[in-house]
Amino acid sequence: MADPHASDAGAVDAAHAVDAAYGADAAAAAAHGGEHAATFPPFDQSLFSSQLIWFAITFAALYFVVSRFIIPNVSTVQARRAGTISSDLDAAALKSAKAEEARNAMEKATAKARADARATVDAARAEVVAKLTAEQEQAEARLAERIGAAEAKVTAARTAALAEVPGMADALARDIAAKLVPANA
């Protein structure tokens, strides 16, 4: 078994180390087998000055790192992002303006196409009406010629018939007279 005096000597050495680090109250607590210390080390007044020094050193180091490395990187990223957003907004505005111009051009082209289509339809309609009118006039002229020719035939036939009427009337009157008056008498 181990020497009980040797473990007491190790405990005394540990107590001296703790006494140097935490003060007399901490050493007394460690000597009693690690029982609870009287004060919490960050609130121990004997350690307060060293804590303030380490706080100042840590704060200065952190401030130096943040101000020299982190903030410039963040500022660069923010500036780059603002530039990207600005260029994207400008590009979007340009594309929007081009789209609006294209829409206006399309509307003008559509209106022109409709006007051209109306003009073409009106021209075709006028051409068809002119052709129909010309054909109708030609047909009326042919009909007038036929009517004139038919009227001339009718007039000629009437004239011929009227010219034959006296001769026929004479012949008819003779025939009637011959039938009424006996030929023996």
| Residue 42: predicted pLDDT | 78
What is the average pLDDT across 10-23?
50
What CA–CA distance (Å, rounded) separates 104 from 102?
5
pLDDT digits (tens, 9 = 90+) for 146-182: 999 999 889 988 888 888 888 888 888 888 888 887 7
pLDDT digits (tens, 9 = 90+) for 90-136: 999 999 999 999 999 999 999 999 999 999 999 999 999 999 999 99
Residue with tokens 């007394």: 28
Alpha carbon of 163 to those of 7, 29, 84, 97: distances in Å?
Answer: 178, 171, 114, 96
Alpha carbon of 59 to those of 26, 44, 56, 64, 115: distances in Å?
Answer: 28, 21, 5, 8, 79
pLDDT-derived band at 183 (thresholds 50, 70, 90) equals low
- pLDDT of residue 66 exceeding 90, the answer is yes
